[in-house]
Structures are given as structure tokens and as C-alpha cells.
Structure 1
Amino acid sequence: MGILNEKQLEDIRILQQECERGDFTLKLNWETLRSRNGVNKNDYLHYEGLRLVGFLGLYEFGNKVEMCGMVHPDFRRQGIFTKLMGEAMRNAMQRDYKLIILNSPAHSHSGKGFLKQLPCEFAFSEFQMKWSQTELDDYEDAVVRPSRSGDEETEIQLDIQCFQFTEKEARDYYQRILYEATLKTMIIEKDGRAVGKIRVDHSGREAWIYGFSIFPKYQGSGLGTKVLKKIVAEQCQLGYDIFLEVEATNAHALRLYESCGFKTIHRQDYYSYKLQC
């Protein structure tokens, strides 16, 4: 019940293409869609005959859940997304989530119009960035290795200290991403000690960097810049187009990525919707 089959995934892909004919990109977290574990229902689909015209997905993060969806342009203003969202909200309340994060491309007029009807507040913006061919140097001494089973606590504490996860959120998230087959987590070392992590997820010929974090006491020494350059150089040599996402409020990270050759290509806006218990 909770796993999308190949036909449904293809239908979602086709619908996304139809909806993105405007100047924006939907964030559907394809690595998650392809690796659902089937425990909970997180995907809601609306068909007209054999044609998928509406989709909504839930993406879990501890006691919060992110929601993103779409309706085919020819089938809007018919209550389809309202129906999908109502079903998803009821499910979320049964699973005791306290907060829904709604995601809309910054330039989606239909998305922004729908959100105006809801009791939600703007929370933050997120930039999607793409690396442009830039000469990279001075990263050879950065030490990065694949994550091992003994690194679990390090990864969890990095999410707590650097991304303000609660302990439960961090532990739940760690367990969930273990099932994402396209994801690779790398551990950053300094003087033989694990001090950070960086994750790379591959989708087709794209490499997405995320979860990049270094313990606060090791920040500010240039280590992050060297690690990022090293990972980007490796992915470039493998032939991938390289992308990442960063919150607009994280000015330090934004400057770091720009200094390494990343340029903003899209913006996603996030809104908080508190569930009524």
C-alpha cells in the first residue's frame, strides 16, 4: 500500500513535466519516492480514467512532515488538491505530527494562490544551486571516507548540533535514509577524528549534495571549503551535474557554495501549517 510501483512513478514523472511548463521546478524528492519502505501511506494520487492528474507526497522528519504536490493545469480549480490534502492531513494527525511544512516553487502562481487560502505562515526560502565549471584547487589534504556502522552517533549529533533536529528527529531520520539506495554518506575527518559529514544522492546523471555539516568547534578553519571542493571535483570527474540546496537564512553556507562555483537556479518557499489537535 505504501510503495509506489513503476507505473505510478512514471505517471508522476509525466505529470511533473506537464506542471513544470512554467518557469519553476517542483521539489518532489525523487530519491525518497523511489525508496518508500511501505510502513505508512505517504503518497496520494488522483486519476481521471487512466491519466494521473493530481499528486501529493508526504516526507517525514521526526514530528514534522513536509508536503509537496501538483495538479495538471487542465484540471485545476476542481477541488482535486483540496481532496488530496484533506486525506493527507487526516493521516498526518493520526500519526501525531505537530507541524506540516508546505512547499511551493517561488514562481508558481497556482501554488501561491492555493496557499493563501490556508492557515499557514511563511517560514523560509530555500535556494537550489547548480555547480558551474570552476577551477578547484587546495583540497588535496581534506580527508573524507565512507560512513560506517560505528558512525551512527556522529551523524545523529551533527544533525542535532548543526540543523537543530531534536534527538528523536535525528534518530528517526538516520533510520529512514538507511533505505535510500542511491544515497552515499561520507564522514569528514580531522586529525583522525570524525568531525563532519556530507551526503551525495545520485539521480540519473545528477549528483545532489546535502546534509553537509561540521561540528561547530571545527568550523571557521577552511575545512568545509576544502571538503566541498573535494566532493565536487570527484563528482565532476564521474560525469555528474552537481546540485545542492541551502536555506536563504544560512548566509555563511550560501557564500561558501558561491565561492566554490555554485549558482542559484531555483527558489522554493516553505510555509508552516500547525495541525489542530
Structure 2
Amino acid sequence: MSEKIVNETICLKQYLSEKEYKEINQLEELCSSQDKTNLKLELDFKFSSRSTYDLGLKEINEFLYYIDDVLVAYLGISSFGGSNIGEINGMTHPDFRRKGLFKKLFKLAVEECQKRKFNKVLLLSDGHSNSGINFIKSTNSEYDFSEYRMKLLNKTKLESISPIKLRKATIVDGKEISRQNAIFFNFSEDCEISLEKDEELSEFTYMVELVEMVIGKIRVNFREQSAFISGFGILPEYRGRGYGKAALIEAVRIINAKTIEEIELDVECKNSTALNLYKACGFEEVSVMNYYKFNI
């Protein structure tokens, strides 16, 4: 009997096609379900922003490993907002681990990071992922910081008498969103923002308004049974007055109106101000994501 020939293919992409997006999501669901861990792949943001970030530079962000046309390993580089920091996260199908597949993708990703001359490269792993942490240790990376994944568990009705309102951002808000991203997240203010909505992904940015004056923003990604909050910030001159809590309450109300049961967000563990805000609104830590600095 002749031995079966296995067709192995590595695909390098600048951004994801719809087919690849779905394949990676399916692999992520499988890995997360079996390992009981979380991944931070930024797929929704990458997919919805793919046209904005196609600037003709042909930078490689997506590394996909196929065996017989089935996706068995994936690695992604996330670098948004002109920060010159690359974040690497990925996964391997449980049946194809310890075969060196992810190591091959990682080597290619390191070469890409060197080519792009990142100031800093971070490797991400769920705090309970033994395989992820062991791989990162093999790269001699050093621990940098951690983020909590928080979920709205206490659904006690939140009352707000604040004049804070949320409205969906439009193309006119693009420059203001870029300005706030520079303030909140050290993004480059020149980084273009795409506000085109993908009907399937349903991701929206909302402007936080105080008597029709913009004082912050918040982004919500809707899925069938869940919503994820990100990109949240209040301008420095309006902090400490309860506007952040009022804006978060309004975002939760918008989400609840869609009868969505699960609401999540991420926050840096050392950010006590944000942690206290989220806890006051009923969010609790459910997992931790560790970031390790890789010596590029």
C-alpha cells in the first residue's frame, strides 16, 4: 500500500479574506473550547479594517498553515495605530501540536517583525494556557504586563441621571477618533480610521456626548449572542466626574436592547481606575492575558 501524500501549505497574507476569517474563527472556537482558554487575535478589527490598512506596503500580518486544505495552525501580527509595536498571538489545532508547525510560522513572523523594525514585539498567552506559556518560555521572552478579560456578571439594573448620550460615529468623526486614539492609546494621529460597517460583523464606534459636545468614544462589536467593548476613553479634562461610568452604562443599555446575553471587555491589570469603573458597573474578571516582551 502506498503512503498517503500530505499536502502542506503555508499562506502569508497582508489581510484576511472572508473565507480565511471564517476558518480562523472555527479553529479558535475549537482550541478555546478544548483548552478552556482565551485568545486575542483581533480578527474582527482586522477584517473590518482590511481596506484601510492596505496601503500598498505589502506587510505580512497573517500566517496560515494548511494540511490537505484544512487550516491547522494560525499566527497573526497585530499592529494598529502606527504604534510600531507588534503583538503576536496564534494557535495550533489540538491534533497537530508538538509537530513544529507553529514554530515554523513563528520564525516567519519574527523575520517580518525584523523587516518592519518594530520597537517592541509582544507575545500573548492566556494565563492558563500551558502550551502557550511553554512556547513563549522557549523563545526566552520576558514578562511585561497582563490584561484581565472581564464579563458583565452582575446584571443589576444600572441607573444613570447623567446627560451623557451615545451616538453612532460617522465619517465626519474620523479625525476626532484618530485624535482620541492618540490620547488614549498612543496611536499615531495620522492613522486613518475606517468607519465603514460590515453588516456581518456589526462593529460600531459611538461618540460620547455631553450636551452635544464630544468628550470621548467607545466601540462595540456585536455578534449573535455576545458583544465586546473596546476603544473606550474619556478626554482627560472630563475625567473624575462620573462621565465614564455613565457612558459605559449607556453602552450596556444599547447592547441589552439587542437581547444579547454576554458582554465582555479587556483592561490592563494595573489600570486600577478602569478596573474600579468596570467593577462598579457589574463586570468581573474571568481570565487573564499575559504579555511577554520578545527580544527582536
State the TM-score, normalized to the length of structure 1.
Answer: 0.88
1:9-42 CA distance string (max 9 Å, x none): 3332332233221221222223035333355331
What is the aligned residue count?
270
Paired with 2:228 and 2:158, the residues of 1 have a C-alpha distance of 18
Kindly report the root-mean-square deviation, in angstroms, between the aligned alpha carbons of the 2 structures: 2.1
Q: Does residue 51 of the first structure (1) align with residue 70 of the second (2)?
A: yes
Paired with 1:112 and 1:25, the residues of 2 have a C-alpha distance of 13
Q: Does residue 86 of the first structure (1) align with residue 107 of the second (2)?
A: yes
Q: Does residue 158 of the first structure (1) align with residue 180 of the second (2)?
A: yes
1:18-29 paired onto structure 2 within 5 Å: 18-20=30-32, 21-29=34-42
1:148 CA drift (Å): 3.4
Paired with 2:182 and 2:23, the residues of 1 have a C-alpha distance of 37
Amino acid at match of 2:125: S
- Matched residue SS, 2:35: coil
Q: Which moved more, 1:2-11 or 1:74-83?
A: 2-11
Amino acid at match of 1:152: G
1:117 CA drift (Å): 1.3
Paired with 1:41 and 1:143, the residues of 2 have a C-alpha distance of 39
1:87-142 CA distance string (max 9 Å, x none): 11212222232221211111000000011111322111111111132211124521
Q: Does residue 231 of the first structure (1) align with residue 251 of the second (2)?
A: yes
1:207-222 paired onto structure 2 within 5 Å: 207-222=227-242
1:163-216 CA distance string (max 9 Å, x none): 3x15x2x432x43x5456332111122244321111112233322111111111
Q: Are the aligned partners of 2:174 and 2:195 in contact in 1 as well (CA < 8 Å)?
A: no
Q: Are the aligned partners of 2:148 and 2:286 in contact in 1 as well (CA < 8 Å)?
A: yes
Paired with 2:196 and 2:172, the residues of 1 have a C-alpha distance of 17
Amino acid at match of 2:66: Y
Q: Which moved more, 1:254-263 or 1:87-96?
A: 87-96
Tell me which residue corresponds to 1:11: 23
Tell me which residue corresponds to 1:2: 14
Amino acid at match of 1:46: Y
Paired with 1:33 and 1:193, the residues of 2 have a C-alpha distance of 30
Tell me which residue corresponds to 1:71: 92
Q: Which one scores higher on RCO, CA 8 angstroms, separation ≥ 6?
A: 1
Tell me which residue corresponds to 1:188: 208
Tell me which residue corresponds to 1:269: 290
Amino acid at match of 2:47: R
Task: Structure 1: state its 5+ residue gaps.
Answer: none
1:6 CA drift (Å): 4.1
1:85 CA drift (Å): 0.9
Q: Which moved more, 1:73-82 or 1:214-223?
A: 73-82
State the TM-score, normalized to the length of structure 2.
Answer: 0.83
Paired with 2:104 and 2:114, the residues of 1 have a C-alpha distance of 16
Report sequence identity in percent.
33
Amino acid at match of 1:215: L
Tell me which residue corresponds to 2:159: 137
1:245 CA drift (Å): 1.0
